Structure 1
Amino acid sequence: MDKRMNQLEETVAHLTRTVDELSEVAARQDREITRLTARVESLMRAEAERIADTGGTIPLADQRPPHW
């Protein structure tokens, strides 16, 4: 009975550690997703401003030459 109790306690300890590690991973991923979402929003605003500044036309450097 004592051996069985030790095995159960060991299993619970491993499971607790695994849950803690997964919780840390999920928290880190949440922070990274939040950071990347803010970055994408910033890039989208910058691109919208760039398009508004150019009047919605394609910049000359990005246009195809007339012979294409």
Structure 2
Amino acid sequence: MEKLEEQIAHLQRTVDELSDVVARQETEIALLTRRVQMLMEREAQREADGGGGMVIGDERPPHY
């Protein structure tokens, strides 16, 4: 019986630790999701403003 109680205590501690890890990951994922959304909005605004002088593929730059 004592061995089972030790195993249960160990499993409970492991579950608690994993729960903490998942909670931290959830917070970090939410933060990263907001940052990605902000970057996407910023890039969309930059494209809408006519900026974004990136050369894509074999496209010649305007000074040629």
Number of residue pairs aligned between Structure 1 and Structure 2: 58
Q: Structure 1 length as normaliser, TM-score?
A: 0.77
* Larger CA Rg, structure 1 vs 2: 1
Gaps of 5+ in 2: none
The whole-number CA distance in structure 2 between the counterparts of 1:54 and 1:28 is: 39
Q: Which of the numbers 33, 38, 42 marks the counterpart of 1:42?
A: 38
- Residues 6-64 of structure 1, C-alpha deviation per residue, up to 9 Å, x if partnerless? 10110010000000011001101100110000000000000000001117xx51xx334
Q: Structure 2 length as normaliser, TM-score?
A: 0.81
Output the aligned Cα RMSD: 1.5
Amino-acid identity (%): 59
Gaps of 5+ in 1: none
* Equivalent in the alignment of 1:22: 18
